[in-house]
Amino acid sequence: MALTKISGNQIATSTLATVDSLTFLDGESVLRLPTGTELQRPGTPAVGTLRYNTDGDTAEVYKADNGTGVPGWLEVGAGGATLGKKGIIRSNADYIDEDIEIDPSLGDEYTNAFTKGPVEIRNGSTVEVAADANWEIWGGEPDDPRPGTVLQYFHAQTPATRQTIATDNLSDVAARINGLSISITPTRSTSKIVMIAQISHTHSHVMSFGFQKDGAILQTGLNNGSNNLNTPYAVKTIYDGGGNTDEYILNTTYSYEISSSDFTPGVEMTIQACGTSSWSNGVRTFYINDRNSGGGNGVQDMRSISTMTVMEIMG
């Protein structure tokens, strides 16, 4: 068999050398790996072939199983980028742009896997976790807030101007209190949506208050034989047998919680406070934020504001 000799520091490119042992001169000696891009990888190298991948900026080895059950290239170490002495800090990218299979049938070392998140699986890529494998993303998603945590809070208030309402049906457009309208988009199906209103208004024989959602009344209670059309839909009804007067100012606070069947996560809804006053099938003029001062002379001398709050609460 012909041998090709070394001439200076060059070996002919056609030389295939087999050695039993390779020893370097001293501690300053280096072994320089062949370098190239991924496109320049040898097609079918021998298992154990080493090279430096300039695209990935890492050394890689050709293995009989590269983690997918077939021969292929794998980064040396393949534990992610490292920082500090002895690789005390390891890191990983915040995205996955390849197909990965976590499958213990490829080897026991593929049973438990972990990644520091958050991490994005980009379009066209998949991560498949076998039934007997585990993949944990540390910090990928925040822990759910504790039950009772306020997830969203919205507040509305009226101007300190008089509004009059003349209807006996809380589901009417005319029953809506100007300025007390809030739009909210629930985030969870298990949430509680709680609404609270505080209304400044005149005294009347029978007064009812409620909420509309997207123009439809929320509460649909029973009439119970009342002569007042407003009571079937009321969250709160106040009865005062002393009669009807628009000279006295009251403040009423009421609240209501809607069930999960009344909203859809991700879909915006609008909540509107409303009120009415009536007696014996007769509509009473209802003053909001002021009274009918001086027997109807139009002076606004008791001006107030009314407020409303809508909250999404962790269920």
pLDDT tens per residue across span 86-145? 667 888 888 999 888 898 887 788 899 988 888 889 988 999 999 999 998 887 666 778
Half-sphere exposure of 268 (CA within 13 A, CB side): 5
pLDDT in tens, 229-285: 666 788 998 887 666 677 888 899 999 998 888 899 999 999 999 999 887 667 888
The tens digit of pLDDT for each residue in 7-28 reads 666 777 667 777 788 888 888 9
In this structure, what token pair is assigned to residue 74? 């794998």
Number of residues written out for the chain: 315
Q: How far is CA 118 from CA 94, 121, 134, in A?
A: 6, 10, 17
More confident site: 83 or 64: 64
CB atoms within 10 A of CB 50: 13
Structural contact between residues 286 and 277, judged by C-beta atoms closer than 8 angstroms: yes
pLDDT tier at 56, thresholds 50, 70, 90: confident
Nearest to 254 by CA among 238, 270, 268: 238
Assessment of whether the complete model's pTM goes beyond 0.85: no
Mean pLDDT of all residues belonging to the chain: 84
> Which range has the worst mean pLDDT, 190-204, 217-231, 235-249?
217-231
Q: Rounded to an integer, what distance in angstroms lies between the CA atom of residue 129 and that of residue 137?
A: 13
* Residue 1 binned pLDDT confidence (cut-offs 50, 70, 90): very low
Sign of CA dihedral 67, 73, 75, 77: positive
- Whole-number Å distance between alpha carbons of 238 and 226: 13
Cβ atoms of 178 and 304 closer than 8 Å: no
Q: Identify which of 210, 213, 199 has the alpha carbon closest to the alpha carbon of residue 250.
A: 199
CATH fold of 150-313: Jelly Rolls (2.60.120)
- Residues 6 or more apart from 260 whose CB is under 8 A from it? 189, 190, 191
Both tokens of 49, joined, read: 């072939």
The pLDDT value recorded for residue 132 is 92
